[in-house]
Structure formats: C-alpha cells, structure tokens
Amino acid sequence: MIKEWLVGVGLAVLIFLGILGLNVLPIFFLVAVSVALWYVMDRRSAAPTAVREASVRPRVSFDEIGGQEHAKRELMEALDFLKYRDKIKTLGIRPLKGILLTGPPGTGKTLMAKAAATYTDSIFLSASGSEFVEMYVGVGAQRVRDLFRRARTQAKKENKDSAIIFIDEIDVLGARRGQHSHQEYDQTLNQLLTEMDGMSTTQSPLVLVMAATNRPDMLDSALLRPGRFDRQIKVDLPDKEGRLHILQIQTKDKPLADDVNLEHIAKETYGFSGAQLESLVNEAAIIALRQEKTQITQEMFRDAVDKVLMGEKTGRKPTDEELHRVAVHEIGHAIVSELMRPGTVSHITIAPRGNALGFVRQIPENDRYLYTLEQLQQQINVALAGCLAEELHYGNRSTGAQNDFMQASSLARTMVKCGLSRIGIVDEENLPDTVLDTEVRYILGQQEQATRALLQPFKQHIAEFAQSVVAEESVSGDAFRAWLQQVQQSARVDWAVPLPAGFHEANGTAVPSA
C-alpha cells in the first residue's frame, strides 16, 4: 500500500513540474533508477521466504534404514525426550535443542532426520547450509529467523506439538568465525546461535534443530556447546551385518536368482556406504535389463560391484602386448594376496574400467579397524607384487604400478608414524622428513625382497596363466585358486632369497607358517 502511494505522489509531482515548464526527463530518469534499485533490494530482503526449505510429511521410518543400529538407538533415545515430554518432566529432564549427525557421505544422515520426524510426528523443514549465505549483509540472518518462524507457524497450522528443522551441510553455515573475510558468514552464524539460545524447551510447539555434516572439525565451538547441539551422533560406514541388512532392504522388491548370496556380497563390499549399496543393487538390475533377463544373478552383482568401485567399462583398446602385461601384473597381485590371506581373491579382470586397465578384487577376511605390523607388511607385499611380476617376466617395469607405489608408500609411512618401524616410537610433528623418507625407503626395500621371494617360484607359470586371463578377460577366484594349487604341487624351485617372516618352504613353494 505504501509503495503504491509513493508511486502516485511521485507521478503527480513530475506532472506538476512538467506543467510549470521544467525539464523533467533527468528527474524521471533518476526516479526510474531509484525505483529499479528499490525493487531489487526489496526482492533480496524478501528472499528468506524463497529459501528452498521443504515442509514435507516424510514417510521414512527407522525400520527402513539399515546398517545404523547403534546410531538409530542413540537418536531414538534423544527423540524420546521430545516425544514423551510429560513423562520426562517428572525427572526434571530438559529436552534437547539440537542433534548433530556426523559421518561420511552416503551413510543415511538425511534419511535419519526424516525418520526422526516420522517417529515424533513432527513438522519437517529442511534446508542446505549454502542457502543461507549471501553477499548482501543481513540476508542470511533474516533467512535463519524466517526458517524458525515458519517451523512454528507450520506446526501450529497443522496442530502439531513439535517441528524439526534439518540443516544439511551445516559446515557451510557454521564454520569457525573469523575464517571468512565476508562479515555475512559470521552474522548468519550469530543469528543461528541466537535462535537456538532463544528456543524454549517448554513452549508448544517445540522446535528441534537437526544438522548433518561430513566435517565436524570445521564447526564453531560455540555451536557445539551444550544447550545448542546437545548430542553428536556418529553415522558411520556399516559393518558386514549392516551391509547385509541394507542389501536385504534394497533387494526386497527385486527378482533375485537362486544363486544370489547376499551374505557373500556383503562380505565383498567392505567400505561401502548405504548409498553405494543402493547404487550396487540398482546397477545389477540395470545389467539384468541390458541382458534381457528376468532375474538378477550373482554374476550381475559381481559386475555391479566392479562398476561402483571402478566405474563403467571404457572404450580404450590396449594392444595385445599391453593386455598381456596387464594380465601378468594382476596375476602378481593375486598370487601374493592368496599366499598371504588364502581365499581372499574374488576375481581377476583386465577389462579397462575408469583409470585402471585391470584389477584384482579381494574379499576381506573380516572388517578390520586395527592393523598389526605383519598385516601392514602383507598389504605392502600385495601392492608391490604387480610390478615385480612384470620384472620377473619381462625384465623391466611399466608405469602401470604408479598407484601401487603410492599405496605402498602410504602404508610404510603409517608404519613409521605408528611406531611400528625399526626407529620405534616417534613424534610425528617433530619427525624430520629426511628420517621419515629414509625409513620408508628401507621398509619398501625389505618388502620388495620378500615379495620377490614369494613370486620367484611362479616365474615360469605366470605367462601361461596370463594367456588364459587375456583370452577370457576375467577369471574367477575359484579358477585362479585351482591353478595356483596345481602350480604349488608341481613346483620344485629353490628359493633365490630368504622367505619373508611368517613363511616357510614346502615342496618348493612358500607356505604360511602355522
């Protein structure tokens, strides 16, 4: 109403000045520019209502989220303070104001926030941290105020006792103050802190703030103190049982063949997030559609695992010589892996995927969180085996071992920094680079000798099996183990160098000591 009144008065003044004979064109131009700027700034100030927060009624329940049993229990316990407010009043418990979900990407943090809204029958508003950051000072803070206002208004409108505000990627909004040159970042964070301080835990509707981040170390300490984000819940990568649960949920409406073993797939997919497992099942179904099959087989799941890990098959066509070298390289990895940890080779392939011309997929024996010196040495042996197999057969190495060397070097550095090397316990911050590099080279040199000793008896046999790999493009772990066992039984080769620790000679080959 005020805008229309001002526009009318301005036009009347311009007409009056024109009647008096004054040149009103410059004035008209200035007024037009002022109105345009006013309109732009007005749209900017009204932008908080345009933040893409979603006021939805999520239908996700905790039963539909697999692999996060511990996180779900901890979250549901925190939500009970919101759900059963009358009951907890008798103990004088204050409901929580904020819950922070942390963990790697794809582990289900957003799904858990939606399930929390379903569990508590709350209004659910979601927004991303980047939506609050603008170059115009004060806009982000206004958007924060508007988000909390909308949560309360929407809850009252739908007769709900509570509302959940979910802020994804809160590290954009809540990063430590003083790190940004633009004042808007700090003002927006200050407004969020003020809103959370002003939240009453007794009024109705009650507002609970949930947030997710992959980088909790970047958040401002004032945001993490009690009274704001009272709980931090770790949503980590699922273990084997968790992966099996996720696979069961994702495949419940998929036509599976009788040979599908979900437990074996769960064992193969160590380190996969929930999002990757969902993509795995979807890719297996796509492969079935591409092959015009009515059921998804175990082999399709195997190919889907390769695609999720390495990417789609590329159009690169290596020469026959390159294919043979790649096969020799991968067989070297497979031999040492099988000698170190029997039964761990899933399959060998030389089909180019992503940046790799070939690879050996291994099945971990168990989910590991701690590693001994011997286990780290074994991983270095496996990493170095590819280039050493090339050296034994061709007399030289290729550039295909670059990533293997990086992995081996990283493992050696881990050994030094964890006090597992010959120099003992070290202070990582005060460890001279020259000492670190010298010890890493020593470790890699020792493990290179040990790996060469393991591969030496197979020198004459690797080339023959490489021909089979080139012809078939992919060889299963069972077929590889059958060949390896046959070679071990027939080999009668003296060892050129001492065997690595944990191995002894038996019938001309290396056998793990009991």
Catalytic residue set: 330
Tell me if 187 sits within 8 A of 137, measured CB to CB.
yes
Please state the separation of Cα 296 from the chain's center in Å. Answer: 26
Instruction: Give bridge partners of residue 232 from the DSSP assignment.
Output: 100
Tell me if 500 sits within 8 A of 454, measured CB to CB.
yes
Look up residue 26 and give its two tokens.
């410059």
Give exposure, 473-490, as e/b (b: 16+ Cβ within 10 Å): ebbbbebbeebbeebbee
Query: How many CB atoms are located within 10 Å of the residue 398 CB?
Result: 16
Reported as half-sphere exposure (CB side, CA atoms, 13 A), residue 154 has a value of 20
Name the amino acid, one letter, at 375: Q
- Judge residue 156's burial from the number of C-beta atoms within 10 Å of its C-beta, 0-12 exposed, 13-18 middle, 19 or more buried: middle
DSSP string, 34-90: HHHHHHHHHHHHTGGGGS--EEE-----GGG--S-HHHHHHHHHHHHHHHTHHHHHT
Residue bearing tokens 């039984």: 489
